[in-house]
Chain A
Amino acid sequence: MKSFFESQLWPLKNRLYRFAMLWLKDRDKAQDAVQETMTKGFLQQQYLSSIENPTGWMVKTLKNEALQQIREAGKWGTMDEVGDRAMEVDSEVDFSQKTKMVFRFIEKLPERQKEIFFLREVEGLTHREMAAYLDLNEGQVKVELHRARKKLKSFLENYGK
């Protein structure tokens, strides 16, 4: 029989990795952040098995790890400011132009919209799952997704002009 960690937390690793990429724009740093988060999840698995939303806890831990890495890189700020201060998209040469285009758009979104948009478009989560990931209610998720897509429409209309 699989342990709680194996069945509930371990399968999150790929999603968490891509989520870390959203903030860090660097594969190695994202890998480190996920590794740290997974280790913490493993050590806290008894506690996590008793709480309602272990996924939300993992995402928060990952965010803190990402923030820590950004701070260590000499870019101080709160998570709300990370969007402005996180690693520059253009500096990462190993991303394709199309990937950079996505990151460039996401960078322009406010923090909450950024996360919701990413979880929906990249991870394909339902409203309920996104709410669980981010510890929000479904109504908030729908409103923020609507706003983000409205901005996407405008971004795509003006792209390349």
Chain B
Amino acid sequence: MENKHEELWDKYWKGETTLEEENMLFSEVEADQQGGSLKDFFSGIQAIRSEKPIAVQLPLPKQKYPWQKLAAVLLVFLTVTACWWGYKEYEQQQQEMAYQQVVEAMGKIQLNLRKGTSHLESMEKIKYLNSGVNWYDNNKNN
């Protein structure tokens, strides 16, 4: 019996024991009343074996229908489109207003240009006198 025990330990130190044989040896060491470094060592191993992580969290599964992301993208797209559309409208209004202002300004200029021309109308009546001056100039040149 003692020989078999020794044999098993020899096998253990050589790394040739099976897991069952090792469990047998560890149980013997645990039950040993004398203790010693071997018992301490295997108690330490037992303590490490009982170590467990407190909480490892499972990563969140991928969303089958990522509707929230889709909604966010859609919202951004609509906002950008609305802004762009609004800006185009504003730009067009600005152009129309500028055109109206130019038309009004031109109208006022036209009105002002006509002012003071009524007294020149009488000059039209004696315009024919200029033809005599032309006749004189022509004869002088010849």
B53 touches A156 (CB 8 A): no
Q: Which residues of B contact A100 (CB under 8 A)?
A: 44
Residue of A at shortest CB range from B18? A126
**Known: A34-B56, A153-B13. Is A18-B49 also a contact (CB below 8 A)?**
yes
User: Shortest CB–CB separation between residue A8 and chain B, in angstroms?
Assistant: 14
Bitwise, A29-41 to B at CB < 8 A (1) or not (0) is 0110011001100
Q: What 0/1 pattern do residues 77 to 116 of A give for CB contact below 8 A with B?
A: 0000000000000000001111111110100000000000
Quick check: B56 and A35 within 8 Å, CB to CB? yes
Set of chain A residues within 8 Å of B51, measured between Cβ atoms: 17-18, 21, 27
What total of chain B residues lie within 8 Å of the partner, measured CB to CB?
26
The total of Cβ contacts below 8 Å across the A-B interface reads 85
Mostly, the A contact residues are helix
**Interface status of B52 (Cβ within 8 A of chain A):** yes
Q: Cβ of A122 < 8 Å from any Cβ of B?
A: yes
The B34-48 residues at the A interface (CB cut-off 8 A) are 37-38, 40-41, 43-45, 47-48
- B interface residues (Cβ-Cβ under 8 A, vs A): 12-16, 19, 22, 37-38, 40-41, 43-45, 47-49, 51-59
Q: Which residues of A contact B (CB under 8 A)?
A: 10, 13-14, 17-18, 21, 27, 30-31, 34-35, 38-39, 42-43, 95-103, 105, 121-124, 126, 142, 145-150, 152-153, 156, 159-160
Some 25 contacts from A to B, beta carbons below 8 A apart, are A10-B58, A14-B53, A17-B51, A17-B56, A18-B49, A31-B56, A34-B53, A35-B56, A35-B57, A42-B58, A43-B59, A97-B40, A98-B43, A99-B44, A99-B47, A102-B45, A124-B19, A124-B22, A142-B15, A146-B14, A146-B15, A148-B15, A149-B14, A156-B38, A160-B37
